[in-house]
Homo-oligomer: A and B are copies of this chain.
Amino acid sequence: MKSVRAFAPGTVANLGPGFDVLGLAVTGVGDAVIAERGSDGEIRIRSSGHPEIPSEAERNSAGIAAARVRERAGKADVGFTLRVEKGLPLSGGQGGSAASAVAAAVAVNELLGSPFGKDELLPPCLEAETAVAGRHADNVAAALFGGVVLVRSLEPLDVVRLPFPRDLRIVLVQPRQRLRTEDARARLPRTVDLGIAVAQAAGVGALVAALAARDYDLLRRSVDDRIAEPARAPLLPGFAEAKSAALSAGALGCSISGSGPSSFAFAADEDSARRIGEAMVAAYRARGIEASARTGAIDGKGARIDGVEE
């Protein structure tokens, strides 16, 4: 085949109390990578006009993932050109670096004759994510597998795919703010009180139970992050107001998406999701911050090939 296009959805990581643990994929927007074999052994990035995305393959999550996949396949001498189509915002907290890495890994794997299944593509994607955004697997695993994932352990890498309600809606709101992942990480405490750790663990367990049982009352009570959100909310003007507006509008929980600045909310249906999105956008605007909302379901498929040119 001449070229392969792979798509990976956007993701919400650090889901509620699930800091570094829980992630989910959202239908709709994502990143795509069109990969073709190069004439030499180089990996080259052709980006779609984002000047801030590094064009050096070794600094770009798509390039790193592609390099790791070809190494793993024992084909380190095969070169690729990767055209990265960014559907997701940069530094948005919607899993953009992870989606680019995952789409590149899936596309390059296909070009190499599909030596690997998705499970085997996870480690190279995690390496790419680690290089550009810190060592956490909740975005890459959700983008790759789809659905809701729980990262039980990074060492050894152990990702659990969780049951989830098909009708649950996700509201993603992107305020016109910048918050670099490094800055957001720098705000995290190094230690937490035992009581906080216990509450956070209980929240993760409750959220898993709520998704499995489709218990939306419990879901709303479980989206309660005692660690990352309190540390980061002060960096995100308008978030507190948007969260309050979301809950008043009937959201089944609201928190920061990834390390921000995007925020997310759960909703019981599409109408409610739209209302919640409008209320959140209005709350940001009332603070003088432009914002936009989108709604989607949980993307149960994850990354997929969506075009092959022979």
Contacts and interface: CB of A to CB of B under 8 A. Distances in A.
Interface string A195-212: 011111111111111001
B202 A17 contact: no
Given A163-B213, A188-B194, A204 B207 contact: no
Nearest to A198: B20
Contacts of A17: 201
A150 interface: yes
Given A191-B191, A192-B192, A194-B191, A18 B151 contact: no
A191 B195 CA distance: 8
A189 B194 contact: yes
Contact of A201 (B18, B160, B209, B212): B18
A218 interface: yes
A206 B192 CA distance: 21
User: A21, A163, A196, A205 — which one has the most chain B CB atoms within 10 A of its CB?
Assistant: A205
Interface in A14-65: 17-22
A1 interface: no
A158 interface: yes
Contact of A197 (B22, B162, B208, B227): B227
B194 A150 contact: no
B197 A150 contact: no
Contacts of A218: 152, 160
A201 B280 CA distance: 29
A163 to B, nearest CB: 7
A33 B187 CA distance: 52
Contacts of A193: 190-191
Interface of A: 17-22, 150-153, 158, 160, 162-163, 188-194, 196-209, 212-213, 218, 221-222, 227
**Those 6 A-B pairs whose CB atoms lie nearest each other, nearest first:** A197-B197, A204-B205, A201-B201, A201-B204, A152-B206, A191-B191
23 contacts: A19-B198, A19-B201, A20-B202, A21-B202, A150-B202, A150-B209, A152-B202, A152-B206, A153-B199, A160-B205, A160-B206, A162-B209, A163-B212, A163-B213, A191-B194, A192-B192, A196-B197, A197-B197, A197-B200, A201-B203, A202-B204, A208-B208, A209-B212
Given A162-B209, A189-B194, 5 more contacts: A152-B218, A160-B205, A191-B193, A197-B201, A205-B207
